[in-house]
Amino acid sequence: MQFGPIWRALMRNRTGAILIALQVAVTMAIMVNAISIIQSRSEAMARPSGVDEANIFYISSIGFNEEFNERVTIEEDLAAIRALPGVVNAIQSNSVPLSGGGWSMGLQTEAGDDIDGIGTAVYFTDEHGLDTYGLNLVAGENFAPSDVGWREGSTPNWPDRVIITVSLAKGLFGEEEWRSAVGSTVYINSNEPMTVIGIIERMQAPWNGWDRLDNTMLSPEHTLFRSTRYIVRTEPGRRDELMPQVEELLADSNRDRIVRGLTTMEETRERSYRGHASMIKMLLFTIALLLLITALGIVGLASFSVSRRTKQIGTRRALGASKADIASYFMSENFLISGVGVLLGAALTVGLNMAMVDAFDLDRMELWLLPVAMLVLLVVGQLAVLGPARRAASVPPAVATRTV
Amino acid sequence: MFAYYLKLGWLSIRGNPWLSLLMVAAIGVGIGACMTILTVNYTMSGNPIPHKSDRLFHVQLDSWDANDPGEDGFQPPDQVTYTDALALKRAAPAFRQVASNRSGLVLEPEGDDERPFTVDVRNTWADFFPMFEPPFLYGGGWDASADESREPVVVLGRELNERVFGGEDSVGRTVRMNGLNFRVVGVIDEWQPVPKFYDVTNGPFNSTEEAFIPFTLAVEQELPRNGNTNCWKSPEGDGFQAFLASECVWIQYWAELRNDAERAEFHQWLDNYVMEQKELGRFPRPVNNRLLDVMQWMEDQEVVEDDAQVMLGLSVLFLVVCLLNTIGLLLAKFMRKTGEISVRRALGARRGDLFRQHMVEAGLIGLGGGILGLGLTWLGLRGIEALFGEFVENLVGLDWVMMLTAIGLAIVSALVAGLYPTWRATQVMPASQLKAQ
Amino acid sequence: MLSMQNISMVYRTDTVETHALREFSLEVGEGEFVAVTGPSGSGKTTFLNIAGLLEKFTSGVYALDGKNVSSLSDAETSRVRNEKIGFIFQGFNLIPDLDIYDNVDVPLRYRGFDGAERKRRIDRVLDLVGLASRRKHLPAQLSGGQQQRVAIARALAGEPRFLLADEPTGNLDSQMALSIMELIQEINRGGTTIIMVTHDPTLAALAHRNVHIRDGRVSDADDSDMQLAEVANG
């Protein structure tokens, strides 16, 4: 099929063609930018938290009575939970990764008020922490039981020893020398020294949108904040059966507190990324709907164009055009229109992306998306025009001689 | 003639049901997508207290670290320290002013079978109620004297009152929280400012607290806090008193100022106060106090989320696609009626007559699209609710304004889409015969 | 009543000029019934479109009812068509979505009559053409003859002074054609001026006067034999 005559015919009756081309262009701009957002959200969601998510759950305990002896309770609770068959280990802590709430501090390698620290999340834990979270110690050593102290709500001081993540070690000591962090002194609260005794491969902070998400330190302390959290790691497959057991054990063992918020790490992840996941679903739905609308528009206008040209088609048939010739005429016509549309769309897409990156905190799109989207839209256009083209092909040559 | 055009439009739509349906669907889907997202944005950017939002001012004092500029340079923190809250309350010249913070207590119901449960609580001052005007079901707020004498009084939310007292008028009765007996002085009816302007820091779209107690009492009893706390240096010393005296910010502070003069006076007082504090070694940064009214504060805190705005932009483009679609289909529809149009011209219809006739037809299709779009908006909002869950429960209501906007936007969109096809229709020449092709 | 002097009509495309009418002149008096005949391509349709103010012409003077119409605006010509001219088309040109009553109503709507006046006029003309009982029918539910009667009723509803008919019986069988022609003659006897374009000499014979067009001009009367021969052959 020759494009030349088709193009010239299009130019003589261009409104419908322009409308379709514009529609294809805007569709492409929306589609590519939506996919770009989906990509970056998926990448964010794929970042590992560093903990054994499948087998961890946690629960809060809140003492509300004057008689409530928090310190004793915590010691008893931990001993009882750790003794349950199926429990790998358990700790008391302030937070877990992705939970959205927790502590942060700044660390620095030199003491001094006017030095900018490097931000890090803080988890309070004891010597069971590495095992409970399922963390991978890549250098140095774990806490000893004697390292673990007790922190009250407004204790200003910090322990002498600390474990940090690789990411934090790199931030403090440099990309290459992070291993040298072990044994080094870091300062918290500007002036208070702590010795790094170990480095863990990875553990995320509680806030998934934080730009220093992998900066985390473990502080060897139990907390006496009246409200606390127990983190429990179970043997694979036994989490769900142990959750009600632990809840019951805590609720029954002490009536001066309430237990609440029994949650798995998996739920926490789901909740944490719910916004992202929902955004992805909405965008996917938008793309699907958009392609459908555009395809329907192509079907509508192509059908109109076929019915308007019935006589012309009959004439062509009478003059010797085969069914395939007629169908391919309409297919080629759509290819030309969509082709102009996707070229225009490529420009529009880049423009929209620049505007969105400018206005919002979005990642720039990847350029390979452009040719892929162009191809997809061309294929969608061809599929949409298939029906009308076949209807055109079935116009009998006798129409040519019929006067209406 | 309008009724005549309506009739003609309806006949034309009926005469070509599939094409018409396609257009109604295109507009409906576009409107549905747009309005769903617009509703969320509209609710996020709504004025939670329209009749006095320009008289309520959020107070910011720049007590922060001189060595730690944020991304946008020196910005005063969004909350204030206990020291400053107390000083302002004691001497600042405001018509009303109120400090408050978020807290959570454990409520022990009467009767042994009932398990204790946690309650979201706001610690605040007596002025909270006349300032923010929550509607009372029973009783009212407490007096300023209760603040001073640190009386254990409580204002309950409707839901908590139902849970504890079965919805009865509980004024005068007692609830036990964290080991203290609180006397109920009032019960607030359903009240959900959106955004929850008085505490954006702890979530602009969170639910209203279930109970309100005197701030002074909470401090005296050292009741737990669970709102956002930020410190740029650690408290000097151990214990709760050290925390109170620290540079940590954890209190939302609001003032009601009735006119520019009051506002200026208050602002002047703040600046003087900071100058005095500087002499005591506090406030290391340059004086940078801010008074923003409700809507300015919502703007400053960017309560409308980026994602909502991104989706809004995309959905508007989506509507554009739907309209391009509609233009094409309307053009096809009107061009199919060339014969009728030329007969009408021959019978004496002016271009204007045909213009109005076809715009009415486009408008009718828009109306259909609007009604469909409204249904789809409702579905869309349910979809968002299902996707995002409790985070958006206060954002997915459809009010009259949005319903009328949906219909109006649909009709306007259809009219805009109809302009070009209608213009083409008026250009059809009158003729004595219908052309076959 | 109608006066055309030296009317020319030239269609121009990028490459060709087509002269549809050349220096065409015609006078039609009040109450006359004139038949315009001619072979296809002779300019009959162009003449009719110009006479009915459906098309502008290139040059010449056209006065209708003593008034020069060449300078009228689009809205003014619409008004003249609506008030003074009734059209009867070969293809009937009823609006398929509208029932009989509403089809006849179309010109009256643009005239701006109130509902009672429109109803009075529609009832009268539907009675006249004998279709009062079919007012709720759609055009497709009627025979060709009945459809043409509706079209005539629509043309008459505005009580025009001047009726233009384009092959009014062209799509009808001879029986129906006859009854439509009787109706047209009756309308003419009622005082309405009629110009009918046709290629059928037997119909043309029913008019007071015949005008023959050939190559866009009024041709000599003795051409009529030749025209008869053409019709017989075609």
Tell me whether residue C67 is in a domain: no
Distance, in angstroms, between B425 CA and closest chain C CA? 15
Contact call for B233 and A189, based on CB within 8 A: yes
Contact call for B348 and C107, based on CB within 8 A: yes
A-chain CB neighbours of B309 within 8 Å are 359-360
Residue C231 pLDDT: 42
Specify whether the CB–CB gap between B22 and A293 falls below 8 A. no
φ, ψ for residue B249, nearest 5 deg: -105, 135
| Higher per-residue confidence, B433 vs B166 | B166
End-to-end Cα distance, chain C: 34
Quote the CA–CA distance of A333 and A381 in Å, as a whole number: 10
- A154 at interface of B, judged by CB pairs closer than 8 A: yes
Cα separations (Å) of B312 from A282, B58, B410? Answer: 12, 29, 16
Contact call for C89 and B433, based on CB within 8 A: yes
Cα separations (Å) of B8 from B354, B366, C93, C119? Answer: 11, 15, 17, 18
CA atoms lying within 13 Å on the CB side of residue B255: 24
Instruction: Flag whether pLDDT at A1 surpasses 80.
Output: no
Quote the CA–CA distance of A146 and A161 in Å, as a whole number: 11
A-chain CB neighbours of B64 within 8 Å are none
Contact call for A152 and B313, based on CB within 8 A: no
End-to-end Cα distance, chain B: 31
Q: How would you write the pLDDT of chain C (234 residues) with one tens digit per residue?
A: 889 999 998 888 777 788 888 888 999 999 999 999 988 778 888 888 889 888 888 899 999 988 898 888 888 988 998 999 998 888 888 888 889 999 999 999 999 899 999 999 999 999 988 899 999 999 999 998 899 999 999 999 989 999 999 888 888 888 888 888 999 999 999 999 999 998 888 888 999 999 998 888 887 554 444 444 444 443
Residue A404 pLDDT: 44
Distance, in angstroms, between B364 CA and closest chain C CA? 17
* Closest CB from B14, B350, B431 relative to C49: B431
Domain boundaries, chain B: 2-45+305-426, 56-300
* Closest CB from C45, C91, C110 relative to B347: C110
Please identify which residue in the block is written with the tokens 């505005």. C158
Do β-strands A192-200 and A161-165 pair in parallel, antiparallel, or remain unpaired?
parallel
- Show the domain range for C206: 30-56+73-233
Contact call for A312 and B437, based on CB within 8 A: yes
φ, ψ for residue C159, nearest 5 deg: 50, 60
Contact call for A66 and B179, based on CB within 8 A: yes
Tell me whether residue C130 is in a domain: yes
* Closest CB from C49, C75, C106 relative to B347: C106
* Closest CB from A20, A190, A290 relative to B328: A20
Residue C233 pLDDT: 40
B-chain CB neighbours of C96 within 8 Å are 15, 340
What length is written for chain C? 234
* Closest CB from B348, B352, B433 relative to C82: B348
Contact call for A304 and B336, based on CB within 8 A: yes
Q: Which residues contact C9 (CB under 8 A, 6 or more apart)?
A: C19, C20, C21, C24, C43, C46, C50, C55, C57, C58, C216
Mean model confidence pLDDT for chain B: 89
Residue B412 pLDDT: 95
Among B225, B228, B310, the residue to mutate for chain A (most A Cβ within 10 A): B310
**Helices B306-336 & A274-308 angle (0-180, nearest 10):** 10
Q: Which residue of A has its CA nearest to B326?
A: A297
Domain boundaries, chain A: 3-46+274-401, 53-266
Please write the tens of the pLDDT for every residue from A149-189: 998 876 778 999 999 999 999 999 999 889 999 999 999 98
Tell me whether residue C197 is in a domain: yes
Q: pLDDT confidence of B103, banded at 50, 70, 90?
A: very high
Using a CB–CB cut-off of 8 Å, the residues of B that contact C are: 1, 4, 8, 11-12, 14-15, 339-340, 343-353, 429-434
End-to-end Cα distance, chain A: 30
| Nearest CA among B227, B202, B116 for reference residue A260 | B116
ipTM above 0.95, yes or no: no
Quote the CA–CA distance of A183 and A145 in Å, as a whole number: 19
Contact call for B436 and A289, based on CB within 8 A: no
Distance, in angstroms, between A404 CA and closest chain B CA? 5
Residue B435 pLDDT: 42
Please write the tens of the pLDDT for every residue from B408-418: 999 999 999 99
Q: Which chains touch B (3 or more CB pairs under 8 A)?
A: A, C
Please write the tens of the pLDDT for every residue from B322-356: 999 999 999 988 888 888 898 899 888 999 999 99
Residue B112 pLDDT: 67
Q: In what order do the strands lie in the sheet with C67-68?
A: C17-28, C2-12, C59-64, C67-68
Quote the CA–CA distance of B46 and B49 in Å, as a whole number: 9
Compute the average pLDDT of residues B78-94: 93
| Higher per-residue confidence, A382 vs C234 | A382
Instruction: Flag whether pLDDT at A213 surpasses 80.
Output: yes
Sign, CA dihedral B186-B191-B197-B202, equals: positive
Structure tokens at A188: 């918290």
Contact call for B11 and C97, based on CB within 8 A: yes
Quote the CA–CA distance of B311 and B314 in Å, as a whole number: 5
CA atoms lying within 13 Å on the CB side of residue C140: 3
Q: pLDDT confidence of A311, banded at 50, 70, 90?
A: confident
Dihedral, CA atoms, A94, A98, A104, A109, nearest 10 degrees?
110
Residue B396 pLDDT: 80
Residue B437 pLDDT: 28
B-chain CB neighbours of C82 within 8 Å are 347-349
Residue B70 pLDDT: 62
Share of chain B above pLDDT 90, in %: 56
| Nearest CA among B123, B82, B116 for reference residue A63 | B116
Determine the 3-state secondary structure of B155 from DSSP. Answer: strand
Quote the CA–CA distance of A225 and B240 in Å, as a whole number: 12
Specify whether the CB–CB gap between A205 and A188 falls below 8 A. no
Element (H, E) at B292: strand B290-293
Residue C234 pLDDT: 34
CA atoms lying within 13 Å on the CB side of residue B312: 16
Instruction: Flag whether pLDDT at B29 surpasses 80.
Output: yes
Residue B69 pLDDT: 66
Tell me whether residue C20 is in a domain: no
* Residue C68: count of CB within 10 angstroms of its CB: 11
Q: pLDDT confidence of B233, banded at 50, 70, 90?
A: confident
Residue A203 pLDDT: 96
B-chain CB neighbours of C154 within 8 Å are 347
CA atoms lying within 13 Å on the CB side of residue A231: 28
Distance, in angstroms, between B79 CA and closest chain A CA? 18
Specify whether the CB–CB gap between A340 and A22 falls below 8 A. no
Please write the tens of the pLDDT for every residue from B286-302: 889 999 999 999 888 88
Most confidently modeled range among A8-17, A266-275, A366-375, C71-80: A366-375
Do β-strands A216-224 and A149-152 pair in parallel, antiparallel, or remain unpaired?
parallel
Determine the 3-state secondary structure of B373 from DSSP. Answer: helix
Instruction: Flag whether pLDDT at A87 surpasses 90.
Output: yes
C-chain CB neighbours of B1 within 8 Å are 109
Residue A58 pLDDT: 95
Q: pLDDT confidence of A128, banded at 50, 70, 90?
A: very high
A-chain CB neighbours of B317 within 8 Å are 26, 29-30, 352
Contact call for C49 and B343, based on CB within 8 A: no
Q: How many domains does chain C have?
A: 1
Tell me whether residue C19 is in a domain: no
Quote the CA–CA distance of C227 and C220 in Å, as a whole number: 11
Please write the tens of the pLDDT for every residue from B54-70: 999 999 999 888 776 66
Structure tokens at B21: 């349906």
Contact call for B306 and A19, based on CB within 8 A: no
Compute the average pLDDT of residues B272-282: 92
Long-range contacts of B20-23 (CB under 8 A, 24+ apart): B20/B333, B20/B365, B20/B368, B22/A296, B22/A300, B22/B329, B23/B325, B23/B326, B23/B329, B23/B330, B23/B333, B23/B365, B23/B369
A-chain CB neighbours of B235 within 8 Å are 154, 156
- Three-class DSSP labels, chain A: CCHHHHHHHHHHCHHHHHHHHHHHHHHHHHHHHHHHHHHHHHHHHHCCCCCCHHHEEEEEEEECCCCCCHHHHHHHHHHHHHHCCCEEEEEEECCCCCCCCCEEEEEECCCCCCCCCEEEEEEEECCCHHHHHCCCEEEECCCCHHHCEEEECCCCCCCCEEEEEHHHHHHHHCCCHHHHHCCCEEEECCCEEEEEEEEECCCCCCCCCCCCCCCEEEEEEEEECCEEEEEEEECCCCHHHHHHHHHHHHHHHCCCEEEEEEEEHHHHHHHHCHHHHHHHHHHHHHHHHHHHHHHHHHHHHHHHHHHHCHHHHHHHHHCCCCHHHHHHHHHHHHHHHHHHHHHHHHHHHHHHHHHHHHHCCCCCCCCCHHHHHHHHHHHHHHHHHHHHHHHHHCCCHHHHHCCC
Please write the tens of the pLDDT for every residue from B121-169: 999 999 999 999 999 999 999 999 999 999 999 999 999 999 999 999 9
Tell me whether residue C112 is in a domain: yes
